[in-house]
A and B are shown apart, each in its own frame.
Chain A
Amino acid sequence: MKEVLISYNTIKETVAKLLNKEWNVITPSPDGIRYTAITSSDEINLAGDQRPTNISVKEFFFPKTDPVFYFKKNQSEVELIDAVLNDKKNLFLGIKPCDAAGIPVLDKIFNWDYKDEFFNSRVNNSVIIGLACSYSDPQCFCTSVNLSPDSTKGSDLFLIPVDNSGFRLQVITEKGSAFLKEFGALEETSGPAHPKNSTVPDKKFDYDKVKNWLDNNFQSDFWKGKGELCLGCAQCAFVCPVCHCFDIIDESCGYECGRRVKNWDACQFGLFTKHASGHNPRNDQSKRYRQRINHKFKYYDDKFGEILCTGCGRCSRDCVAGIDIGEILAEINTF
């Protein structure tokens, strides 16, 4: 893997160049709520010890409200107009490994039986520069789902901070390599690199053991108490970098025009599985919670070979009722 040393100033200059060329440059916002596009190279946020943002980077590839097409009525005819796909280029700078790893995971579902051109075009227009993470709290568990604070999964280029002198920049994909060629004055190599100490979350559970239990215990009484405290607010699904359920609805945008949109949805909502007949197969919160765990840690793996979780811990931090998915899996691990 090609690796170079790069200084903070060089990154700043490259960003300034990109902003001039009308690229979108996106970094974690300083208040830690979500990722935002910056307007000047002074606003770069490369703090690897910041807590993961409240809302993940998924909203740039799979927005919360995504128009699919528009329709307009002209007298008796209906005109269909495709949604315009923005072809602006995006640079994602300083993305946490637990966020970046979500992109290849989402890629599996969005290119399964139907190629989702919205998602694909956004990924194709983006270069992702991951940043090694030096933050850890009791809710993190990336090491339990086959990831780590310096995992390069999903990143095109990867930055590892080096004591006060800049970063090691690793080239992971072809796209990353092409990006460097186009914008790099980056062939600096000198001296040995000293990686900063990163705090590594303890392993909370053995994934294979948990998966094995999930394979055999759908009807277990274990699930009964689990949904008791859940309020069905679905924040866990909305902040997650890989949860991807969506609803498709038609709505009007005026009297003679309308649009079809994809909106974020979540299996924790009471109405998620309600049939038109009124019957609801998942009619209480424990059944819905069981679905969440099984989808993330069993069904997605069975189907696509990926765990539908990156261990970022956002769901546990944001849960109003304090339900901690890492702890639940650790409990399963003891069975």
Chain B
Amino acid sequence: METTTFEPKITAFVCNWCTYTGADLAGTSRLKQQTNARLIRVPCTGRIDPLFIIKAFENGADGVLISGCHPGDCHYNTGNYHARRRWIMFRELLNFIGIDEKRLHFSWVSAAEGKKWVDVVDEVIDTVRKEGPFLKYKNLNKQFPVPSEQILVNKE
């Protein structure tokens, strides 16, 4: 009997000017990489609201990767600096809530770093694969069907 091994779904938010171009370079260079990541292109990592990360988890992502230009190289000068500050705060918050930090990854990948992109994506996919499917968030989605009663039981 064939058993299907779990393949994680990774959502990657990447900045247009650096990482997306780098990923493109990895493609044109015919570098081999795993295909579990779906890229979402944003103009700059500064555009990324942590709400995007939550929505990704809500909609079934097992892991999230965020990648942008190296500090100093941002196309808009300072976008990635602001983003970096936000990520420091947001990582702690998600950790506190119980979302494992192994599911949320960040990287700086420039437009010339096709090889680095492949390495980063492979590493993230392998890490998340070891963690398993993100069932607890997915199970929050199991609202269908549900009886119309919501009775809270005394919890001591």
Contact = CB atoms under 8 A, between A and B. Distances in A.
* Complex A–B touching at CB under 8 A: yes
Interface of A: 24, 26, 29, 34, 36-39, 43, 59-60, 63-67, 70, 72, 81, 83-86, 88, 118, 122, 253-255, 257, 259
A28 B110 CA distance: 60
A34 B145 CA distance: 26
- Interface of B, secondary structure class, is loop
Interface residues of B, number: 14
Nearest to A251: B143
A37 B154 contact: yes
A81 B145 contact: yes
B148 A66 contact: yes
A259 B150 contact: no
B149 interface: yes
A37 B148 contact: no
A253 B141 contact: yes
Contacts of A122: 149
B145 A60 contact: no
A185 B54 CA distance: 56
B51 interface: no
11 contacts: A36-B154, A38-B153, A38-B154, A59-B150, A63-B149, A67-B148, A81-B145, A83-B145, A122-B149, A253-B144, A259-B143
A44 B144 CA distance: 33
Interface in B74-104: none
Contacts of B150: 59, 63-65
B152 interface: yes
A36 B152 contact: yes
Interface in B121-156: 141, 143-154
Contact of A36 (B145, B146, B148, B153): B153
A320 B19 CA distance: 49
A65 to B, nearest CB: 7
A43 B147 contact: no
Contact of B154 (A43, A65, A85, A257): A43
Contacts of A34: 152
A88 B149 CA distance: 9
A44 to B, nearest CB: 11
A26 B146 CA distance: 21
Contacts of B146: 67, 84
B154 A83 contact: no
